[in-house]
């Protein structure tokens, strides 16, 4: 068996192949879903990769609400020591900036009993390891990213003659927008980000679907820079009436029914709590309706009006996710919820729903076990998580005890602001 490369070896090889790179972006996603970054010269990164120094972070680095940034709300008065640890296996060139590379990082809390207990990326890596150890199985994930191209200080849609106007058309992609999109796709390719396909989605909206990979890899791609050609893109949930989501395709190998039914059943059981991680901000719940994240908890083969679209017995699309989430945390939570069903052999009481739920009366919905509505707001989802002892233990009590107060602060502040004030605030971050 070949010896695994050290972090220094990986970094040295990368620098030999990408000689224009002068700076490495050490990146992590906080509990608000915001990409945080430290920019290091290559020389300093080599020192860190050799283990010659630790790169320390302020203890607030995970707990800054978007609504109050830069003010944060620590859950303890104790001084804490946090360390930023690059995952050098995630190192890649930044196609958007030729002198930059990037690596996603773990965050380590030195004084904690479990130093990585509040690190979403480590939570996902541990979940993937558990899946392979307990079940001999692996998972692949691909993400469909809905976004809009915007311009100007007030972040308005592009004002052009050829307007994006419908689903899967060439209208809107016959001029400036296509030129911009091709430029972005070229840069994603330079960043080693695989593209499955792209298409128009609805008015002023585009979707890019990423190629399936190990879940820890495409999540790095979701944090790729999204500014180009003097414009910028946004995948925040609500922009002038249009809703943006990120749909996660998850497939597993080595498992088949009834095991995959147990896996899905447990995820559906935990759905309300999972929404607190996936639709993680105040305006996320505009998507809990038809043709978005669904109004009812359930699943259906090729049914996009429910939170889970079944593709086949080993492949599902989870639609209760948007760009304001921490995708490491959400993906880990989905996997861990499913593992509980595998161990407990949870019964899949839901029927495969092949009709649009909004067309059903109460009796017909009951036939498919569509008896629980999706959360109507972030407060409802957070309350579900607070009362869900099993989900909190799966994800980690310490992590949830930091995550939940942050989300409650977002609710407190954002409910006092207008939709336009929230939109402009979100635009600064997503």
pLDDT average, residue stretch 376-386:
97
Q: Do domains 7-115 and 128-427 have the same CATH topology?
A: no
pLDDT: is 76 or 138 the higher one?
Answer: 138
Kindly indicate the confidence band of residue 232, based on its pLDDT and cuts at 50, 70 and 90: low
Residue 25 has pLDDT above 70, yes or no: yes
The burial of 322, by beta-carbon neighbours within 10 Å (0-12 exposed, 13-18 middle, 19 or more buried), is given as buried
pLDDT average, residue stretch 69-98:
87
pLDDT average, residue stretch 74-78:
79
Residue 269 has pLDDT above 80, yes or no: yes
pLDDT average, residue stretch 55-65:
91
Per-residue pLDDT tens for 126-164?
999 999 999 999 999 999 888 877 766 666 666 676 777
The pLDDT, as a whole number, for residue 231 is 54
Strand-pair partners of 106: 85
pLDDT average, residue stretch 414-423:
91
Kindly indicate the confidence band of residue 238, based on its pLDDT and cuts at 50, 70 and 90: low
The pLDDT, as a whole number, for residue 225 is 42
Neighbours of 389 (CB within 10 A): 9
Residues 6+ apart with CB under 8 A from 173: 162, 164, 181, 200
The pLDDT, as a whole number, for residue 235 is 63
* Contact in structure between 237 and 208 (CB atoms under 8 Å): no
Predicted structure pTM score: 0.92
Per-residue pLDDT tens for 151-206?
666 666 666 767 777 778 888 788 778 888 888 888 778 777 888 888 888 777 88
CATH 3.30.590.10 holds for 128-427 = yes
Q: Write out the DSSP string of 155-199.
A: TEEP--SS---STT-STT-SSHHHHHHHHHHHHHHHTT--EEEEE
The pLDDT, as a whole number, for residue 330 is 97
Give me the helices (H) in 202-255, please.
Answer: 218-222
Q: Measured between alpha carbons, how far is 226 from 210 in angstroms, rounded to an integer?
A: 15
Omega before 231 within 30 of 0, i.e. cis = no
* Contact in structure between 261 and 156 (CB atoms under 8 Å): no
Residue 264 has pLDDT above 80, yes or no: yes
The percentage of residues in the chain with a pLDDT greater than 90, rounded to a whole number, is 63
* Contact in structure between 309 and 303 (CB atoms under 8 Å): yes
Q: Where are the domains of the chain?
A: 7-115, 128-427
The pLDDT, as a whole number, for residue 153 is 62
Q: Within 13 Å, how many C-alpha atoms sit on residue 12's CB side?
A: 8
- Out of 3.10.20.70, 3.10.129.10, 3.40.50.970, 3.20.20.70, select the CATH number for domain 7-115: 3.10.20.70
Mean of the per-residue pLDDT values of the chain: 88
Tokens 């930059």 identify what position?
100
């Amino acid at each position: 068996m070949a010896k695994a490369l050290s972090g220094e070896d990986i970094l040295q090889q990368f620098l030999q192949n990408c000689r224009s790179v002068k700076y490495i972006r050490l990146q992590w996603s906080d509990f608000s879903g915001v990409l945080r970054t430290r920019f290091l010269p290559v020389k300093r990164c080599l020192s860190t990769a050799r283990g010659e120094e630790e790169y320390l972070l302020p203890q607030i680095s995970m707990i800054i609400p978007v609504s109050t940034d830069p003010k944060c709300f620590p859950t303890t008065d104790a001084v804490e020591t946090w360390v930023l640890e690059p995952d050098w296996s995630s190192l890649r060139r930044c196609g958007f900036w030729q002198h930059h590379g990037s690596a996603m990082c773990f965050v380590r809390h030195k004084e904690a009993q479990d130093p990585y207990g509040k690190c979403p990326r480590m939570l996902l890596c541990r979940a993937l390891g558990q899946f392979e150890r307990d079940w001999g199985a692996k998972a692949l994930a691909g993400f469909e990213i809905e976004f809009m191209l915007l311009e100007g200080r007030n972040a308005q849609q592009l004002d052009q003659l050829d307007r994006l106007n419908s689903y899967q058309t060439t209208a809107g992609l016959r001029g400036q927008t296509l030129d911009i999109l091709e430029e972005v796709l070229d840069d994603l390719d330079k960043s080693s980000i695989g593209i499955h396909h792209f298409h128009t989605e609805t008015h002023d909206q585009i979707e890019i679907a990423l190629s399936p990979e190990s879940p820890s890899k495409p999540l790095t791609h979701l944090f790729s820079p999204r500014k180009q050609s003097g414009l910028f893109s946004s995948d925040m949930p609500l922009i002038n009436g249009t809703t943006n989501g990120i749909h996660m395709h998850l497939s597993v190998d080595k498992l088949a029914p009834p095991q995959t039914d147990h896996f899905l059943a447990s995820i559906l059981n935990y759905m309300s709590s999972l929404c607190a991680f996936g639709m993680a901000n105040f305006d996320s719940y505009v998507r809990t309706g038809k043709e978005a994240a669904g109004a009812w908890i359930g699943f259906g083969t090729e049914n996009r009006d429910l939170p889970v679209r079944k593709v086949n017995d080993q492949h599902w699309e989870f639609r209760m996710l948007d760009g304001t989430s921490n995708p490491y945390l959400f993906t880990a939570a989905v996997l861990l919820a499913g593992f509980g069903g595998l161990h407990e052999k949870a019964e899949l009481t839901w029927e495969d729903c092949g009709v649009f739920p909004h067309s059903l009366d109460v009796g017909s919905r009951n036939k498919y076990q569509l008896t629980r509505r999706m959360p109507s707001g972030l407060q409802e989802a957070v309350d579900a998580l607070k009362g869900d002892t099993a989900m909190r233990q799966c994800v980690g009590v310490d992590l949830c005890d930091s995550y939940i107060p942050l989300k409650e602060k977002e609710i407190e502040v954002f409910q006092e602001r207008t939709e336009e004030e929230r939109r402009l605030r979100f635009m600064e971050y997503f």
